[in-house]
Amino acid sequence: MRISAGAGATAPAVTGSGLRGIANGPVLAERRQDGFTLIELLVVMVIIGSLLSLAVLSTGNANTSRELRDEAQRLSGLIAVLSDEAVLDNREYGLLVRSESYRVLAYDEAKGVWAAVPGQNEHRMPVWARLELELEGEPLKLSTPVKENDDEPGLSQDQDEEKKEKEKNGPRQPEPQLLILSSGELSPFRLEIAEREPKGTVYELVSDGFQMPKAELAKERR
């Protein structure tokens, strides 16, 4: 049997607090949908700034490592070219290496001095990079000119003028540490091309005096 609510049925009573709850519900929902608070916006801005900083640092490190590799490969290729030219031209070459630069020198047998090679300017490393050369084994030495039997002790007039000219021109050109000889030999060496920061990337060139060096990451060899 179905019983339907009639006219005499009474509706459930609603208290005042219930009315306030029903009335305030949509208002609170509308307030939550108005937008972010100032604190929430600041948090989002901080997160975005941190992500952008990480992206910039990552890109900068990649560019630095790539440039350092190019510098190492450039120096490795230069040594190989100089070795070939030394054998073909029967001429002695050398590299004058400093922490911030390197320069190609050639040995002048007539004057017995090292001189800069025309067209080969000093190559400077980036400010964030450094060079460190370590010679291994016995250092190579150039043969000195043999004195003729009919040479008289003392200086001739031409030699005296040449000496005065050298003194007038100032100190002699510094001698290179790494020799590249016409015999095909090299000074046995280990050369680091590295970032100046403590945990930066390090490339190295290594030769036993006969093999041409290759640019390799130092951590791959250790």
Rounded distance between C-alpha atoms, residue 86 and residue 159, angstroms: 28
How many angstroms separate the most distant Cα atoms in the chain? 149
Mean pLDDT of 49-57: 65
Find the mean pLDDT for residues 125-132.
94
User: DSSP per residue over 154-173, as a string?
Assistant: S--HHHHHHHHHHHHH-SPP
Select from 162, 75, 44 the least CA-distant residue to 113.
162
pLDDT exceeds cutoff 80 at 142 = no
pLDDT per residue over 169-196, tens digit each?
556 668 999 999 999 999 999 999 999 9
Residue 151 above 50 pLDDT? no
Return the minimum-mean-pLDDT range out of 124-128, 136-140, 208-212.
Answer: 136-140
Q: Which two tokens stand for residue 101?
A: 């630069």
What pLDDT does 28 receive?
45
Q: What is the pLDDT of residues 9-50, one digit of tens each?
A: 454 554 544 544 444 555 444 545 556 687 777 777 777 777
Higher-confidence position of 43 and 142: 43
Q: Residue 84 corresponds to which tokens in the numbers above?
A: 């070939």
How many helices (H) and strands (E) in the chain? 4, 9
Q: How far apart are CA 77 and CA 86, in angstroms?
A: 14
The pLDDT assigned to 125 comes to 94
How far apart are alpha carbons 176 and 81 in whole angstroms? 17
Which residues, in sequence order, are CB contacts of 67 under 8 Å at separation 6+?
126
CA distance 80 to 87: 11
- Greater confidence (154 vs 140) lies with 140
SS3 assignment, position 192 = strand
Q: How confident is the model at residue 157 (pLDDT cuts 50, 70, 90)?
A: low
**pLDDT over 70, % of the chain:** 61
Which of 200, 203, 208 lies closest to 221, judged by CA? 203
The per-residue pLDDT for 149 is: 45
Q: Provide mean pLDDT across the span 119-126.
A: 91
**Nearest in space to 112 (alpha carbons), one of 141, 85, 145, 86:** 145
Q: What is the pLDDT of residues 58-80, one digit of tens each?
A: 455 568 889 999 999 999 999 99
